[in-house]
Structure 1
């Protein structure tokens, strides 16, 4: 009898679970009893002072390593990062001794919450250290991978991803060569990381639950300060999907011309032929899919070379873009300490990046600048990050950050949308816009869509997958990954996959414990911000032709928005950004930007049998072995209880 009491019927069990989940919504955060405002303010002052010092030392050590890769500099960087971890852990312990959610001062309460809800500090020392070392191990394993060249027997297996493989995936048009590198990369990264990732999930969930969250995904979403962030993201994807499916259909028709019957006329696309290891953006195959190959391409590299551009001139031109809008010039330390070109005397990480040294003076960019269009845009992008640093530098340290995750990138990309236009490049003497006709405009919008529209579903699914793993467990992780990719991207693995493969680890942000939903939000926000700045600047006409150069009105609005940092809840910042029109993130500005391309794609796709993709048994058989195998072995009556439970869950 006792045994029977311990086994409630399925419906009752589900109701209990729902009750527990509902209880979580009312649970308060992990906090203590101290409500003394004076002590809290004193702690925050000390945190601001000590945190700035710690941050400066870490950034300096990271800079030294990034600009001079030696073992000595690497050891120093790791030492400073360890000191920073200890500081953050001590700060967290002090913060949760306060009843911080009931502290009277709203700014103090906001700062304390920012410390309290982040990180894995609730773990015991041994598990905290295990978590830290586990993530370090996964990152190092990922970064050490080298691959063998295609069909070169006896050649050294020394191809790195950043330098070699990414370029091949973008430039090769050989189906089998692309498949070789896709398969080799996934094999080198996924299986070795799987067991480490399973342990990482266990520790992350433990930390979250000890801090009062349902799981690690629940904790990750806390930073968005929005109980409905997942619903909002789903609505955005739904709004963009018609445009994405028309882009997808057009691209598929062009890939069929290249690869023949290896591409199915109404089906999903294999992941390796879209110019990128993860099929996350498709600009690598622009030459295959550009609507009008004869139209002039938006490329000013030759003009820059003829005019004798140097890396310094590119940076001066980027600064002048911002000062023309009435925004801040780069400080003297920027020109003194930045790295504009690749040094010849030492090894350096060449990926472009912007740096804030946390002392209100020292801001830098590191970039191995080449004289071409891409680096002209990249320089403006990185300087927009520095402009954001300069605007919020007078905020407390904890508020010296973006308004919400993804906003830093959104700001920089919005500037990129203005700079990378025929109109702007003509105004600065680099482009003859006499050919700025319909065909050139559609080609331009297609290039931007391959970068932005194609990227959005991928940016959506990474954290959707991760949050499901935290919530539902580590079974069937690879299957769930490809389910999402097929559902939202129309992408399939080019060869059969099993759970051993652990394909999600092929994307660095997964093993490196880096959130990804911020990239999704940055895509949408950049168009919202761009539209607002263009409207206040007085722009008329198609949104993609807007140039913010010399608009003081746009500069004032942007400065006001950036100067708040993260001191204010982001809905209020979006309301200010849109001048009262909305406090939500939505896709309308992005759809407005691509409206001319959308019309073109709909006309072109009229003859296509399917807009989007149809899936069949062979598609899902590539990865859904557990489902197909189990379903085939279960009698019909055995499946019915499972179906009923699923229906009950949906109805609840």
Structure 2
């Protein structure tokens, strides 16, 4: 009986640990280790070659660079398919080595390279063409039709941020969408078909399922919906307060109870509203430092902005930028060429070449963006020694959260005082609330936009939204979640989603919603480790924490970053926070003083919370043409 029990325990142990005595499986796993080492070297070289070609085109938009990028993409795709055919010969699901099995799992998903060569080339050409349309689009000036060379960066972005003429804002808003959308519409329809075909070749039903697979959680969509419901009451309060203030400024252009006209919010996509903070501040009479003006007064250059960002990472015991970063990055917009100005960080997969491409201006927004993009680079550096398939964020939201995590410290008044951008020796509660409000106009108001972008695309990929419904369904979601409306009626013939870079560049967006939640979760964890936050100590609120120069916080962050995607994201988040799920409570804790103030202020002014149906939106021309 005892022998039987011992044998049973050994069998159970073998099953639990993955240990096997089958010599054929053991031999295959040994061969697989040799194979994966060779494959990783090949993949590094392929990724490097492909990224160099993408960089060349994105930093200098010419037909020659486009043709080179497409040619390299085709070469690499062919090589990857050959590698994939070897990968699927292995019975990798039986492997006992966790890391080996996880690498094979990632290699078993080929992505768009699974398409036949002709269709893959077409998909790559379509995406590149849409990016070119977006990046080279120009519109005419509002008051001078002879000036028709205004680009998104910097002219249109600056107009949306600074103009207070509603007619000029409307002109810029409409003309940008007219310059991009109609030219991308048919290309986008074809992109959806080809992208879905690629997903099916990877055993997914459509691209939405393929994108969500990266989160390794079948309940992920439900989690995201639950997080939004948890955060929605805070958004409704800040939305109501801003609408009330905008109506005082613009009068009948703004409805008392309807959605907010999108062109009045200081941003081309109404995704961040900080640019309208100056006439929305809770305490407008309080002297506020214009941080952009202060940067310029202190002779900040583009180089100094990025050196300041680097100093932050070094101060918490993370890694300085390699010399090649400073030599090869493009940190200012060149005057002699067209380029994709959307700020981005680049990993060239050789463990030493990391870059940022950003058309930097001397503004506070670009100051924090520099920290964000360098956060990506820091992540690249920390996981550079992982196998190539693990050189990614634990999920794509992690990558976006790391830079923003640093920005939460950078934007604290405590930090701004440390680096000399604030001269006052101390703050009073009104200054602090004004600052918290401005951060809220970035962080809180972004949440519904970050959510609805992929709600729309998921439905497009799943066939729930057909091409003739693209624009009207887009505005349904903008109204439902954001409470914004277009300044003029749009129609199903327009294609306003294309006015956002991530749509035409095929960049999944739910990562940003995820990042805006977990960055506060990360922030709370590192602030606790730095001794700067205590839930039971009112003198240490979360929104005043600054981890600058705290190596304990940096070391804790580094442990999570070094994992890359070698473990599922719940494992990674647990390393830093002790939690295994995404949790919005840290964000709510951070903004708790603002939330309380907004509720009181809206109640005092009898402000309507929420919004009634828009009087503007999207007109279905086919329905309109039908006889009544």
The two structures share one fold, judged by TM-score above 0.5: yes
Who is 1:604 aligned against? 601
Counterpart check, 1:108 vs 2:107: no
Q: SS of the counterpart of 1:434? A: coil
Structure 1: runs of 5 or more not aligned: 1-32, 634-652
State the secondary structure of the residue aligned to 1:94.
helix
Q: How big is each residue's C-alpha offset from its partner over 1:544-595, in whole Å with a ceiling of 9 and x where there is no partner? A: 11010121210111010000001000011111121x2x21112111111111
CA separation of 1:248/1:340 partners in 2, compared to 1, >3 Å: closer, same or farther?
closer
1:431 aligned onto 2:422? yes
Match of 2:353 among 362, 377, 381: 362
Q: Which residue of 2 aligns with 1:295?
A: 286
1:139 aligns with 2:138: no
**In 2, Cα distance between the equivalents of 1:345 and 1:146?**
16
Query: Equivalent of 1:411, from 402, 406, 409?
Result: 402
Contact 1:296/1:435, CA 8 A, preserved across alignment? no
- Find the residue that maps to 2:504 and give its secondary structure: coil
Q: Is residue 117–residue 222 contact of structure 1 (8 Å, CA) maintained in 2?
A: no
What is the match of residue 590 of structure 2? 593
- Give the alignment of 1:168-567 within 5 angstroms: 168-300=159-291, 309=300, 311-339=302-330, 352-367=343-358, 373-434=364-425, 436-471=427-462, 472-474=464-466, 475-540=468-533, 541-567=540-566
Q: 1:468 to 1:344 in 2, by over 3 A?
A: closer
* 5+ residue gaps, structure 2: 1-24, 534-539
Structure 2 residue aligned with 1:89: 81
Deviations 1:1-45 (A, max 9, x none): xxxxxxxxxxxxxxxxxxxxxxxxxxxxxxxx9993234333321
Q: CA 1:619 to 1:349, structure 2 compared with 1: closer, same or farther past 3 Å?
A: closer
CA distance in 1, matches of 2:98, 2:171: 56
* 1:409-436 C-alpha deviation (Å, 9 max, x unpaired): 1000000111121111222334223352
Q: CA deviation at 1:141?
A: 2.5
- Deviates most, 583-592 or 350-359: 350-359
Change (3 A) 1:309 1:495: closer
- Alpha-carbon spacing, 1:481–1:539, altered in 2? closer, same or farther (3 Å): same
What is the deviation of 1:527? 0.9
Contact 2:139 2:148 in 1 (8 A): yes
Structure 2 CA distance for aligned equivalents of residues 610 and 237 of structure 1: 21
Instruction: Say if 1:493 and 1:96 are closer, same or farther in 2 by CA, change over 3 A.
Output: farther
C-alpha distance 161-312 of structure 1, shift in aligned 2 (>3 A)? closer
Q: 1:263 offset after TM fit, Å?
A: 1.2
Verify the 8 A CA contact 2:315 2:551 in the aligned structure 1: yes
Match of 2:432, SS state, is helix
Query: Secondary structure, in 3 states, of the residue corresponding to 1:364?
Result: strand
- Judge conservation of contact 1:406–1:519 (CA < 8 Å) in 2: yes
- The residue aligned with 2:611 is 613
DSSP 3-state at the match of 1:576:
helix
Mapped to 2, the partners of 1:129 and 1:343 lie a distance apart of 29
The structural deviation recorded for 1:174 is 1.5
Provide the residue aligned with 2:35 in structure 1. Answer: 43
Q: Compute the displacement of 1:491 (Å).
A: 1.3
| Offset, 1:70 | 6.0
TM-score norm. by structure 1 comes to: 0.84
Shift of residue 189 of structure 1?
2.2
Alpha-carbon RMSD across the aligned residues, in angstroms, is: 2.9
Cα gap change, 1:525/1:129 in structure 2, threshold over 3 Å: closer, same or farther?
Answer: same
The alignment status of 1:577 with 2:591, answered yes or no, reads no
Secondary structure of the residue aligned to 1:36 is helix
Between the aligned partners of 1:506 and 1:367, the Cα distance in structure 2 is 19
Q: Which SS does the other structure have where 2:396 is aligned?
A: coil
TM-score (structure 2 length as normaliser): 0.87
Secondary structure of the 1:406 match is helix
2:537 aligned residue: none
Do the aligned residues in 2 keep the contact of 1:490 with 1:612 (CA within 8 Å)? yes
Residues 34 and 99 of structure 1 are in contact (CA less than 8 Å); yes or no, is this contact kept in structure 2?
Answer: no
Change (3 A) 1:219 1:316: closer
Change (3 A) 1:209 1:52: closer
Give the Å deviation of 1:370.
5.2
Tell me, in whole angstroms, the C-alpha distance in 2 between the residues paired with 1:201 and 1:69. 24
Do the aligned partners of residues 303 and 160 (structure 1) sit closer, same or farther apart at CA in structure 2, a change above 3 Å counting?
closer
Q: CA deviation at 1:437?
A: 1.5
Report the CA distance shift for 1:181/1:321 in structure 2 as closer, same or farther (over 3 A).
closer
Q: CA deviation at 1:463?
A: 0.7
Residue from 155, 160, 166 that aligns with 2:151: 160
Are residues 479 and 64 of structure 1, via their aligned partners in 2, closer, same or farther at CA, if it must alter by over 3 Å?
closer
Q: Secondary structure at the match of 2:346?
A: strand
